[in-house]
Every structure is written in C-alpha cells, then in structure tokens.
Amino acid sequence: MGNACPHRRAAEEPIRRVSLNEVRSRGWVVIFGKVYDLSEYVERHPGGADLLLGVAGRDATVEFETMRHSSAATLQMEKLFVGLCDSVKSSESNEPAKPLQLTGGRQISRPKLKQVDAWWNVKECGFLPCADPVKVLPAPWDRLVRMSEVLPTLTVHGMFRTVAEQELRDVLPCSQADVKEALEVLTEGEAECLHSLLGYICLAYLHGPTDVYEKGQTVKLDILGRRPHLDHLPAWLSMPWVGVSERLQRRPMLDYAGCVLNNWERLDPTGPIKPSNLRLLRRFTGLVDEEWFFKTHIIIESEGGHVISSLEAISSSMRDENIHNLLQELHTLEEALWRLASVCLPIMFARSPADHALMCEPFLFFFRLRPYIKSVKVRMDGGNGEEEFSLNGPSGAMSTILPAVDALLGIQNTSAELREAVKAFEAYVPKEHRQFLDRLRNAPQSVKRFVESRKDSLEEKTWYALAGAFNACISRVLDFRWRHWSFVEQFIVRPSSGGFSASAGSVCPVIHADSSPGGMPPSVVGTGGTTFDYLQQHITDSQMARIPLWSKAELIQRTPELQAAAATIGNLPDCPPLSEDGLWDATGPNGFVTHRISSLFKTELF
C-alpha cells in the first residue's frame, strides 16, 4: 500500500482531528498520520489479534510498512478510518525525517553545587544525583583530587605507586578515629566524591603497573612492558576507603556510582546532559575511548529518569484502579524504554566526524581499561585487622533502571543463582536506590498480576489493550537486553577469544550464529565478575513474562475458519509413525527424509 491509504469521503464531510492523547486513551492506531479504530476488527485480523493489540494506542506506521497488505486491506481500512492525528505532520510533506534526539534528562536545569536537601532523590531525579557531582574536597582529601588529575600520566609511565606513596602516605588519616573525624565534616555529595576518588586511586595503586600496549596501523597488540600487580593495600589507603564505604553503606570498591553516576560535569552548567556537554571528572587512561564508554552510561542514566517517572505513575494508577491512566502510562513507559534501547545504546558505537573512527574501540576497552575495573581480591585493614575482600568491578548490572522495571512489571528471576548475583550487586548500589527497589518489590502486586487478575472484570477490548501495552513494554525490555548482549559480544567475548582482526574493532556489533548467550565459553566473565549465564537468564525470564493474549482453545472458539479446520483435522485417520515398507519414519533420526533413496526410483541407482 505504500504511503497511500485512500479514503473516499464526501467533499462536504469534514475530517476529524484527533489528539495523540485520545489515540492513547482509546487504543486507536496511527498509520501515516491517519487514525484508525481497529477494536472491532481485532478478532478478524488475518495476521492474528496479537499484532493489532501490540500497537494499540500508538503510531504503527513502521509495523504497517514492514508487512505486505492486500487491496482488501485498503478497503477495510477505509471503513475503520477515524480522522487525522494532530501531532503528526501530513504525509504529503517533503521535509526529511529528523534524527532521533536525546531529551537531556528529566531536569535540564539542576542545582549546580553541593548544598541540596538529599544527594539522591529517585522520584525527582531518577538515579543520577540531585546536583551535579562534587569536584573539590576540603583538606586532607583535596590531595586525592590532585592525584586523580595526574593519574593517567603516572600509570602509563609506571610511576603511580611511587608518587602516591610520596604524596599521600603522610597526609591521609590511617587510624579509625582519625578517619571518622575527617569524614564527619563531609556532606553527602563530598562523601560520594571521596568514595569515587579512593576507588580510582586504590585500583590504580593495585593495577597501575600493568601491561602497556601499543596500537599500530592495524588492530594489533604490541606489549611494551609488563609490571606486577598487587593484592594488598596499605593502611593509609585502606582505612579511608573502608571508612567512607561504611558511611555510605556500600562496599569498598570503585562501583557504578563511582565511575558513572558521580563522575561527570557539564561544560555548560545549565545545558542538557548530552555527550558534547559532558566530561569525566576522573579516568584511568587518557583515551577518548574511556571517556566515551562512561559517557554513554551517563546518558543512559539521564534518559532513564523518564523510565522512573513512568514507573511511579504506573504504581499510582494501579493503586487508584485508574485503568485509563494505567494504559496511557504503559505506553509512556514503552516509549521511554524504546528511547534507551534505540537512541542511547547506539551512542556507544558513534564515530568521529573527523576520521570516522569509533569513539570507543572495543580493542582499547578490553586491553587498556578493563584491567583496571575488573573484579579483585585484595587484603586490607579496615580497622578490625587485615582481612581479604572479594570485590566486584563496576558493571552495568549495578544500574538500577532495569531491576526497577523488572520489579514493577513482574519479570521474575527464576534462577536462585541469578537472584544471589543480583543481591550481591545491590551491595554496591546507593542505599536510596536499594530502598526504591525494595518498595517496588514489596508493592501489593506487579503490573502483570494486576492485568491478569482483571481479565474477567474489565471490558474485553479494554483488557486486551492493557495486556497488549504490557507485552509491548516487555518487548522493549528484551530489545534493550539483546542490544546489550551484542555490546558484550563486541567488547568482551570477541577480544577474550582472540577474535580481533584488522577490521574487527571497527564494526558495529552483530549477533553471530555462534555467539548466542548459551554458547558462551565458561571462562569469560564481565567486569562485575559474573559469567554471561547472567545475561542469558535475564533474557529468558523476560521472554517468559509476557501475558498470553490468546490460548489455542480461545482462537478456535472465536474463529469459524479455525473451527472448520480443527474439525477436518479431527476426522483424519491416525497415521502410523513408520510406513509398512520402512521408507518413512517421521519420528526417526531422519524425520521426513526417506530412509532409502533408491526406493524412490524404479531401478537401482547403484
């Protein structure tokens, strides 16, 4: 049908203008800017009811274009036409489509400095802090800020440990009492800054003297030198690190909050949160690749604020039994999740406008950055004698966005091992984020249970629109998780298996036939220390969370054609699995392939 959906109407009959809000509330569908009421056609749709219910209340132009439609469909759509959507420009316009844009986060204007009522306020600011991260600290912690500024230079020259001992050993407090006294004067934002600083400095102290690589004209590894790692931290580093971690109720480790949530500043303090207006406060290397890698996560967290506001609105709608608002907010959540997967995640593979090179090469991530942020076992004294700490490196699994979505939608963790891994990661998450998660998990019921329990009480088309909107959100969660998997395949799996070639580091991620989550080598783990069964199980659990819209019995009962087909099939005689002459065996190892090819011919072949 292309872009032409003709509607033969009398010239004097005015065309109705329909707002997008009305489209959402009534479950109508927009195609090429034209609004259709498909509610009476759902059961008769040749492609199945699920396809129409999945696009109810939104623009379905893309879905419509990707499916071939007959001339009969054109005539049918004329009968279902309602009017023109106000929010969509006329399809006759010659203006090119605009590229997808970031929103800049929920709050374009944020408090600039550290004096805020609370550092974290999930309802208002999502999972980013309420103010731009703190950049300076009072004495004696100010020396750490200066060390972090020269950290990339010192590590690449193998001088970080020596300089750190000279500059910090006699300055930082190294007893429990002194650490506690120095921490008492810090605000919450300053404590977060200190936790991040110590994470960078302690990991650089442990791992700084590492393999140094050089990248030539092709993606090639040239080891310039190798220096030993440490598994022990001195008291003048471990005491402050453990002390500030206990104050924040987190593990003594550079976590996701330390390298992402509290590790950025805006070049224009009043401008939006977007790549061109962000820079990292702290880094291990001087590479643009590291900067871009963490910037992408900051953008995801910023745009994820819209997800959180939708979750709050959905909770409120269920609490008030407001089905109209619930349907609308599910569509809003789907759009927010779509933006994360389709707009934010691809930023990771953006290219430089100057030379078209990747802003973040997977090669450099794996061999230059990942050694600093991998999981560690380290002995240190936190005030109760020296003990060994087993610590997970910063990981996207420490982001609270998808766990929050899972909790409210009702996506279960069916694996006990996965539940333990998720619980372990939460020890690295700000306590306010954990409290928000607990509130969602302890809600009277999830969205899935809410929708399922009202199948018999709601009007049929309302319930199917609600279930379809829920399933659309599940599809967006799966979209995000599969795209994330493709990044893992590109950044970790292929480098760890020696899969880099001259062009391997310069292509966008592609899911290969032999690189599914289930086929992962057991030795490959993420920066958080978990195997990639973690990702596979998340994907499987998300797929299982869908609400079945039509059972087989319901489809046969509703559709006369299927009833007739079922009756015909029921009258067929039972066929034995093995033919009398042994030529066919549908249940055998060859399936529907003949056992003896010569039996197909009148004469022997050989």
* Statement: residue 251 has pLDDT above 90: yes
- CA triplet 591, 593, 599: central angle to 5 degrees? 135
> What are the pLDDT digits (tens) for 521-548?
444 555 544 556 777 888 999 999 999 8
* Statement: residue 585 has pLDDT above 70: no
* Statement: residue 119 has pLDDT above 80: yes
More reliable by pLDDT, 217 or 99: 99
Q: Across residues 472-484, what is the average pLDDT?
A: 93
* Statement: residue 36 has pLDDT above 60: yes
527 burial (CB, 10 Å; 0-12 / 13-18 / 19+) is: buried
Residue from 299, 313, 314, 256 nearest 434 by CA: 256
Burial call 387-426: b when 16+ CB within 10 Å, e when fewer = eebebbbbbbbbbbbbbbbbbbbbbbbebeebeebbebbb
- CA triplet 172, 160, 174: central angle to 5 degrees? 15
What pLDDT score does 4 carry? 43
> What are the pLDDT digits (tens) for 313-347?
999 999 999 999 999 999 999 999 999 998 999 99
Interatomic CA distance for residues 405 and 422, integer angstroms: 14
What pLDDT score does 56 carry? 82
Is the CB of residue 241 less than 8 Å from the CB of residue 176?
no
What pLDDT score does 397 carry? 87
Residue from 24, 37, 27 nearest 87 by CA: 24
The first and second tokens of residue 51, run together, are 């396809």
Q: Across residues 546-563, what is the average pLDDT?
A: 66
Select the highest-mean-pLDDT range: 116-130, 284-298, 341-355. 284-298
What pLDDT score does 442 carry? 93
* Statement: residue 41 has pLDDT above 60: yes
Q: Across residues 483-492, what is the average pLDDT?
A: 84
Is the CB of residue 24 less than 8 Å from the CB of residue 331?
yes
Interatomic CA distance for residues 173 and 168, integer angstroms: 9
* Statement: residue 593 has pLDDT above 80: no
Angle between the N-to-C axes of helices 533-544 and 416-426, in degrees from 0 to 180, rounded to the nearest 10:
110
Is the CB of residue 470 less than 8 Å from the CB of residue 535?
no
The first and second tokens of residue 126, run together, are 């999502």
Q: Does domain 122-544 have CATH number 1.20.140.150?
A: no
Q: Across residues 200-221, what is the average pLDDT?
A: 67
In percent, how much of the chain has pLDDT > 70? Answer: 72
What pLDDT score does 512 carry? 33
Q: Judge whether 484 is annotated as a binding position.
A: yes
Confidence of residue 169 (pLDDT cuts 50, 70, 90): very high
More reliable by pLDDT, 426 or 561: 426
* Statement: residue 553 has pLDDT above 50: yes
Q: How far is residue 433 from each of residues 2, 58, 154, 261, measured CA to CA in Å? A: 47, 31, 35, 12
Q: What are 280's strand-pairing partners?
A: 264
What pLDDT score does 79 carry? 86
More reliable by pLDDT, 170 or 60: 170
What pLDDT score does 207 carry? 87
What pLDDT score does 513 carry? 31
More reliable by pLDDT, 373 or 603: 373
Confidence of residue 31 (pLDDT cuts 50, 70, 90): confident
In percent, how much of the chain has pLDDT > 90? Answer: 47
More reliable by pLDDT, 201 or 585: 201
Domain boundaries, given as residue ranges, for the chain: 17-85, 122-544, 575-606
Q: Across residues 58-73, what is the average pLDDT?
A: 67
What pLDDT score does 6 carry? 42
* Statement: residue 179 has pLDDT above 90: yes
What pLDDT score does 26 carry? 81
- The residue type of 336 is A
Interatomic CA distance for residues 345 and 293, integer angstroms: 11
Please give the mean pLDDT across all residues of the chain.
Answer: 80
CA 15 to chain centre: 42
Q: Hey, what's the torsion of the CAs at 54, 58, 61, 63, to 10 degrees?
A: -10
Q: How far is residue 556 from each of residues 43, 563, 566, measured CA to CA in Å? A: 11, 5, 8
Is the CB of residue 490 less than 8 Å from the CB of residue 357?
no
More reliable by pLDDT, 455 or 95: 455
More reliable by pLDDT, 38 or 595: 38
Identify the CATH assignment for 17-85 out of 3.40.1280.10, 3.40.50.880, 3.10.120.10, 3.30.70.100. 3.10.120.10
What pLDDT score does 560 carry? 61
What pLDDT score does 356 carry? 84
- The residue type of 241 is W
Q: How far is residue 351 from each of residues 280, 506, 538, 598, measured CA to CA in Å? A: 19, 10, 30, 59
* Statement: residue 497 has pLDDT above 80: no
Interatomic CA distance for residues 576 and 278, integer angstroms: 70
